[in-house]
């Protein structure tokens, strides 16, 4: 039986991955989390059992009990402080490198999620050998962390997930598909703050969990890099909005006012500067990935689950928008903005 540790288990992906891996009888799964975002779980949802500890305080003794460490700890794709973005995003880069150093001494495996956003703007279909073009501090930080891990003597798999969607015990509505579905249910309309022409790869959260599971058992190489997603889930934002409109029977509107609610400085003159399609052939072949559901099925399932979720939860709650939650914690003096240390 393989022993797995998920760092950041209380987050959007971590909480889903915890229960997904728990269903595998060949795995023993534990989790840790520093509660950076506080209590963000859905009402009446089962949440992971975990030890509260900051990633920087994990010792070699803590880590050596596990065959595989999955490092989900980090900031989401939003700035905490526009004046200090670079410094803040350096924090997860540094502590991920420190975890890698500890793991290299132990000899167990590290799985680190980077992001397909490292491709930024690209007119080609991007594979793992495509030259990256990160255009945000978040994506730059992810790629710089990748480079740090490459230099370590380390058994490591780096995954570059597509934009995730789907339900989770710690749901996020600042992810584009989840947000558009929530709008269609609560606001009775779908608001876009761009022309919707930007291309994105998407991945259903259940499928992403499967990729992590497959990565746990993959031992062909000591270092591997995989784009994590599905070739058939590359779409423009407007195409996705149209699909949601068809499911919800709600109209699509274009609104500059959305920036006031969910500010996005990368949308200029109604155009999103990020646009890229991605090939996932390498992971499909090496990890033997087979997805049983198509995009429309996953979209409809997400819609139905979010519809039920919003009967008991407030779509506009700060708990479901990571930037809003962090700003609240800083303002309440629950979070140190300079080092991202939780004070409670």
- Cα–Cα distance for residue pair 248/262, rounded to 1 Å: 22
Q: What's the CATH number where 211 sits?
A: 3.40.50.720
Q: Is residue 114 assigned to a domain?
A: yes
3-state SS string over 128-170?
Answer: CCCCCCCCCHHHHHHHHHHHHHHHCCCEEEEEEECEEECCCCC
User: Mean pLDDT throughout 297-305?
Assistant: 97
- Closest residue by Cα to residue 156 from 65, 219, 72: 219
Q: Is residue 209 assigned to a domain?
A: yes
pLDDT for residue 169: 92
Helix axes 85-106, 137-151, angle to 10 degrees: 20
How many percent of the chain have pLDDT more than 70? Answer: 91
Written as six digits, the tokens of 246 are: 């068809």
User: Mean pLDDT throughout 219-232?
Assistant: 94
334 band by pLDDT with thresholds 50, 70 and 90: confident
CA-CA distances (angstroms) from residue 58 to 51, 61, 113? 11, 8, 19
pLDDT for residue 50: 87
Check: CB of residue 226 under 8 Å from CB of residue 163.
Answer: no
Q: Is residue 225 assigned to a domain?
A: yes
User: Mean pLDDT throughout 23-44?
Assistant: 85
Residue of higher predicted confidence among 215 and 135: 215
Residue of higher predicted confidence among 220 and 87: 220
Check whether 153 has a pLDDT greater than 90: no
340 band by pLDDT with thresholds 50, 70 and 90: confident
The chain-wide mean pLDDT, for the chain, equals 90
Q: Is residue 59 assigned to a domain?
A: yes
List, for residues 77-136, the tens digit of each pLDDT value.
655 555 566 778 888 999 999 999 999 999 999 999 999 999 999 999 999 999 999 988
User: Mean pLDDT throughout 126-154?
Assistant: 94
3-state SS string over 26-88?
Answer: CEEEEEEECCCCCCCCCCCCCCCCCEECCHHHCCHHHHCCCCEEEECCCCCCCCCCHHHHHHH
pLDDT for residue 261: 46
161 band by pLDDT with thresholds 50, 70 and 90: very high
pLDDT for residue 78: 55
Check: CB of residue 322 under 8 Å from CB of residue 76.
Answer: yes
Q: Is residue 26 assigned to a domain?
A: yes
Q: How many structural domains compose the chain?
A: 1
DSSP letters for 217-229 = T--S-SEEEEEES
Check whether 46 has a pLDDT greater than 80: no
3-class DSSP state for residue 121? Answer: strand
- Cα–Cα distance for residue pair 13/275, rounded to 1 Å: 23
Range of the domain at 327: 2-172+201-234+276-294+322-342
Check: CB of residue 43 under 8 Å from CB of residue 22.
Answer: no
């Amino acid at each position: 039986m393989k022993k797995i540790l998920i760092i950041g288990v209380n987050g959007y992906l971590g909480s889903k991955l915890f229960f997904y891996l728990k269903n595998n009888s060949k795995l023993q799964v534990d989790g840790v989390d520093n509660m950076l975002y506080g209590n963000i779980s859905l009402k009446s949802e089962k949440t992971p059992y975990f030890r509260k500890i900051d990633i920087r305080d994990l010792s070699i003794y803590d880590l050596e009990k596990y065959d595989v460490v999955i490092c989900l700890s980090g900031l989401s794709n939003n700035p905490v402080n526009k004046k200090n973005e670079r410094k803040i995003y350096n924090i997860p880069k540094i502590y991920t490198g420190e975890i890698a150093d500890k793991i290299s001494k132990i000899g167990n495996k590290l799985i680190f999620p980077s992001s397909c956003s490292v491709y930024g703007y690209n007119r080609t279909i991007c594979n793992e050998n495509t030259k990256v073009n990160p255009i945000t501090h978040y994506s730059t930080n992810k790629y710089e962390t990748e480079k740090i891990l490459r230099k370590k003597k380390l058994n490591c798999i780096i995954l570059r997930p597509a934009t995730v969607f789907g339900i989770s015990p710690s749901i996020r509505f600042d992810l584009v598909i989840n947000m558009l579905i929530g709008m269609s249910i609560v606001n009775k309309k779908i608001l876009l703050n761009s022309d919707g022409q930007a291309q994105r790869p998407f991945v259903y959260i259940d499928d992403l969990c499967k990729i992590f599971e497959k990565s746990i058992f993959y031992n062909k190489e000591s270092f591997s890099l995989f784009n994590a997603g599905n070739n058939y889930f590359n779409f423009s934002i407007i195409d996705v909005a149209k699909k949601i409109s068809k499911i919800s029977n709600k109209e699509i509107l274009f609104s500059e006012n959305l920036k006031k609610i969910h500010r996005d400085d990368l949308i200029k003159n109604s155009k999103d500067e990020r646009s890229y399609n991605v090939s996932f052939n390498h992971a499909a072949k090496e990890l033997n990935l087979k997805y049983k559901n198509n995009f429309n099925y996953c979209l409809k399932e997400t819609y139905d689950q979010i519809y039920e979720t919003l009967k008991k939860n407030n779509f506009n709650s700060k708990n479901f928008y990571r930037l809003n939650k962090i700003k609240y914690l800083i303002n309440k003096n629950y979070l140190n903005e300079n080092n991202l240390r939780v004070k409670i």
